[in-house]
Amino acid sequence: MPGADRKPSMPVRRDSAAAVEAFLDKARSVPAAVDTMAERGRLLFCMDATASRQPAWDRAARIQGEMFVAAEALGGLNVRLAFYRGFDEFKASKWTADGVELARLMARVECLAGNTQIGRVFAFAAEETRRHKLHALVFVGDCFEENIDQVGALAGQLGLLGVPAFMFQEGSNPVASRAFAQFARLTNGRHCHFDASSPDALRRLLGAVAAYAAGGERAMTDYVRLHRVEALRLTSTRR
């Protein structure tokens, strides 16, 4: 497609469970996002709402409540939903601390055909954190169709502002894998794969990032410990 980075890249093929565990391991090393428990974590939750994303969007709408559950004991979490779709359409909701409200907002969104706008996501996140500090950006998508250098520059600016981007990739599209990994590195965030057959994996990932946004690295470690049954089951596939 026009503007896409089409340089050859080896596809990343990893067992989804192993990928989730690897993500959790790496995420524990991210510096604390919040200096005080008194401040609610602020997380920007961005999703690709182009036509191919409808099934994933519906799944995420059902399971996103895990973010609020994970953050509740840490003082709570404020989330703002943003998405792109169709022809140059980008929208963002109001901030909410209510998982039911966020699910309602997501249920009203209909996915439409269009190209990716991840650069716009990063620019919006940077603008938002200049007004009031963001503690994390979560992005959920499956492809990348933009100029990687241009979008990389925007990711780098976000990184300078101290906002880690947690890039959750459904599937293993090689162009997206290469781009998402670079954007995560530029923002001191993380890149992780999940697939349609593992909604629990996305639930755990959202919970882990919510814990990070609300309480930093120690809170994320505690979240993983509290879910040690799942975590121990995943360790059987670790290298």
**Is 1 a domain residue?**
no
Q: What pLDDT sits at residue 69?
A: 62
**Is 3 a domain residue?**
no
Split into its structural domains, the chain has a count of: 1
Q: What pLDDT sits at residue 35?
A: 43
**Is 4 a domain residue?**
no
pLDDT in tens, 8-59: 444 444 556 666 666 666 665 655 554 433 467 889 999 888 887 777 777 7
Q: What pLDDT sits at residue 205?
A: 78
Assign residue 131 the CATH number of its domain: 3.40.50.410
Report the chain (239 residues): mean pLDDT per 10 consecutive residues.
Answer: 46 57 62 51 88 75 66 73 92 86 81 92 96 92 94 96 91 93 93 74 78 78 61 30
* Secondary structure string (H, E, C) spanning the chain: CCCCCCCCCCCCCCCHHHHHHHHHHHHCCCCCCCCCCCCCEEEEEEEECCHHHHHHHHHHHHHCHHHHHHHHCCCCEEEEEEEEECCCEEEECCCECCHHHHHHHHHCCCCCCCCCCHHHHHHHHHHHHHHCCCCEEEEEECCCCCCHHHHHHHHHHHHHCCCCEEEEEECCCHHHHHHHHHHHHHCCCEEEEECCCCHHHHHHHHHHHHHHHHHHHHHHHHHHHHCHHHHHHHHCCCC
Q: What pLDDT sits at residue 26?
A: 64
Q: What pLDDT sits at residue 208?
A: 80
Provide the terminal-to-terminal Cα distance of the chain, rounded to the nearest Å: 37
The domain containing residue 142 runs over which residues?
A: 16-25+40-235
State how far Cα 239 lies from the chain centre.
Answer: 24
pLDDT in tens, 138-153: 999 989 999 999 999 9
